[in-house]
Amino acid sequence: MEFLQLLLVLIAMIIIIAKPQKEKLAFGLVVVSWLFMAYLYIGHKSGALLTTINL
C-alpha cells in the first residue's frame, strides 16, 4: 500500500511540473494520499491484536 501512496504523490509532482495550472488537482491527490495513509495506519493500529496486549 505504501507504493500506491508514493505513486499518488509522484503523479501529483508530475502534474505540477507538467501543467502548473492543474495545481488544485495535484493538491487534491496529495491530500487523498495523506488521508489514505492515516486511514491505513489507524486501521492497522486499532485492529491489530498484539498492539493491545502487553507481552
pLDDT tens digit sequence for 1-55:
678 888 888 888 899 899 989 899 889 888 988 898 888 888 777 766 665 665 5
Contact criterion met (CB below 8 Å) for 39 and 14 = no
* Helix or strand (DSSP H, E) at 11: helix 2-18
**What's at 54, amino acid-wise?**
N
The pLDDT of residue 48: 64
Which region, left, alpha or beta, applies to residue 47 given φ > 0 means left and ψ of -120 to 50 means alpha? alpha
